[in-house]
């Protein structure tokens, strides 16, 4: 698909809005501080405060990022269509010589950039400090963690677009966004563990792994787990015996599906709701 001038204009507006409102700045500083604090005070429970090794830091960060990034992404994209409709700007876009794909993709790319900037700069700046303190050896793992975190954000941004298109009223968008966040970060895994207990281990590892793939948060956890290996215990996944086909490229492929499917569904539902 060609990145048209209209798409660039729409995307640029979204990025500059988030920059002007200091949203990007605040989240960047938040991510940086958050990483440094976790890296430095992570060992405080053992009576010593100092920079830990990178893998342990990544494990701790992963446990927290799964709550923060989905929440940020869902709130960022949840109101994207409702806002335009409430401000009556949507009529202008619909009457303009642009396609639904250009409109939604332009918005999506803009917000994806706005979400990527804090992750890259916030984690990036703190990553430089960590590398300086713990050595260059684990820089690659941290880089992969940053990339995975960006992907997690984009997945939830895509989901939020779908919510924004499917639900007409802003209050419903907010309510369903909160529900989705709870579902993917807490309820899904709780339910899965419940099923495991109730079925007394009848579920094979393959089925269990497949069920994990249905939750992008679990996919994110597993990719990071594959990156940091022995520190998987920090992610609460030490007892999970993953089948051999679960490798990083497969998981990234699943992530891609998690981005593409909700976004394509957004196009479909948008056309159905506004153009029929």
Partner 1 sequence: MLKFQQVSKNYADVKAVDSVSFELKVGEMFGLVGPNGSGKSTLLKIMLGIIRPTAGELLVNGERLSEKGWQSFRKTIGFMPERISFYDNLTGSETLTLFARIKGGSVNNISDILDKLLTRGVLDRRVGGYSKGMRQRLNLAQALLNTPSLLILDEPTSGLDPIGTRELYDIIDNVRQKRPLTVVLSSHILAEIEEKVTRVGVMKSGVLKACGTLDELYEGLNLPLKLYITIKDKDVRLEEILKRDGAVDITCSNGHLMADLPREHKFKVLSSILEHKNLFVDFSVREPNLEEVFFGIH
The correct pick among 87, 172, 206, 247 for binding partner 1 (CB under 8 A) is 87
DSSP 184-234: IIIIHHHHHHHHHHHTTT-S-HHHHHHHHHTSHHHHHHHHHHHHHGGGGGG
Residue pair 93/103 in contact by the 8 Å Cβ criterion: yes
**Backbone CA torsion sign across 104, 105, 110, 116:** positive
241-263 in b/e burial notation, b at 16+ Cβ within 10 A? ebeeebeeeebeebbeebbeebb
Comparison of 21 and 50: residue with beta carbon closer to partner 1: 21
Q: Shortest distance, CB of residue 266 to partner 1, whole angstroms?
A: 18
- Does 10 interact with partner 1 (rule: CB under 8 A)? yes
End-to-end CA distance of the chain: 24
User: Rounded distance, CA 224 to CA 68, Å?
Assistant: 16
* Contact set for partner 1, span 11-50 (CB under 8 A): 13, 17, 20-21
Size, binding site for partner 1 by CB under 8 A: 24
- Does 1 interact with partner 1 (rule: CB under 8 A)? no
The correct pick among 3, 44, 67, 91 for binding partner 1 (CB under 8 A) is 91
Comparison of 96 and 204: residue with beta carbon closer to partner 1: 96
- Does 133 interact with partner 1 (rule: CB under 8 A)? no
- Does 276 interact with partner 1 (rule: CB under 8 A)? yes
Q: Shortest distance, CB of residue 25 to partner 1, whole angstroms?
A: 16
- Does 101 interact with partner 1 (rule: CB under 8 A)? no
Residue 114 burial (C-beta neighbours within 10 Å; 0-12, 13-18, 19+): buried
* Contact set for partner 1, span 181-210 (CB under 8 A): none
> Residue numbers of the site for partner 1 (CB under 8 A)?
5-6, 8-10, 13, 17, 20-21, 87-89, 91-99, 274-276
């Amino acid at each position: 698909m060609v990145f048209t001038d209209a798409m660039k204009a729409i995307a640029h507006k979204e990025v500059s809005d988030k920059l002007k409102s200091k949203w990007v700045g605040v989240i960047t500083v938040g991510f940086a501080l958050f990483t440094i604090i976790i890296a430095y005070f992570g060992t405080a429970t053992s009576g010593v405060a100092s920079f830990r090794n990178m893998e342990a830091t990544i494990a701790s960060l992963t446990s927290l990022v799964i709550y923060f990034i989905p929440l940020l992404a869902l709130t960022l994209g949840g109101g994207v269509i409702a806002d335009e409709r409430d401000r009556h700007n949507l009529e202008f876009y619909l009457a303009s010589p642009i396609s639904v794909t250009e409109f939604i993709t332009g918005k999506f790319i803009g917000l994806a950039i706005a979400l990527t900037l804090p992750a890259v700069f916030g984690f990036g700046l703190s990553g430089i400090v960590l590398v300086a303190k713990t050595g260059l050896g684990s820089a690659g793992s941290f880089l992969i963690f940053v990339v995975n975190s960006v992907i997690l954000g984009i997945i939830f941004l895509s989901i939020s677009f779908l919510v924004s298109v499917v639900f007409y009223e802003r209050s419903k968008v907010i309510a369903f966004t909160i529900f989705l966040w709870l579902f993917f970060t807490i309820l899904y895994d709780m339910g899965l563990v419940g099923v495991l207990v109730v079925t007394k281990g009848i579920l094979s590892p393959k089925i269990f792994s497949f069920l994990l793939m249905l939750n992008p948060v679990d996919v994110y956890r597993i990719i990071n787990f594959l990156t940091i290996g022995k520190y998987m215990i920090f992610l609460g996944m030490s007892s999970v015996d993953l089948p051999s086909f679960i490798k990083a490229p497969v998981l990234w492929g699943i992530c891609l599906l998690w981005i593409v499917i909700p976004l394509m569904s957004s196009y479909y539902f948008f056309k159905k709701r506004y153009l029929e």
